[in-house]
Amino acid sequence: MIGFTVSLIRRSGRGRNEDSDAATAMDERMAQIEARMTDTQDVMIALSEKLDRIDGRGSKGQDA
């Protein structure tokens, strides 16, 4: 992740003194985004598992 951040900063043409501060800020932001995406993924997995359980019960009830 940090390599991606550094490459974006280098491409932007900022000065060397600003690179470390900008890289740190961008890395923190990327970490926040990654944490939110992980949380969202966890919720989606939980919903998928719940729907699978509901579908399982529904098909058993229809067969009986």
**What pLDDT is attached to residue 31?**
92
Look at the chain and report how many structural domains it folds into.
1
Q: Which domain holds residue 23?
A: 2-63
Structure tokens at 28: 């923190």
pTM of the model: 0.55
Sign of the dihedral defined by the CA atoms of residues 52, 58, 61, 64, in that order: negative
Rounded Cα distance, 41 and 45, in Å:
6
Q: How confident is the model at residue 64 (pLDDT cuts 50, 70, 90)?
A: very low
Q: Which amino acid is at 40?
A: T
DSSP H helices in the chain: 2-12, 16-63
pLDDT in tens, 1-56: 667 766 776 777 655 556 678 778 888 999 999 999 999 999 999 999 999 999 98
**What pLDDT is attached to residue 23?**
79
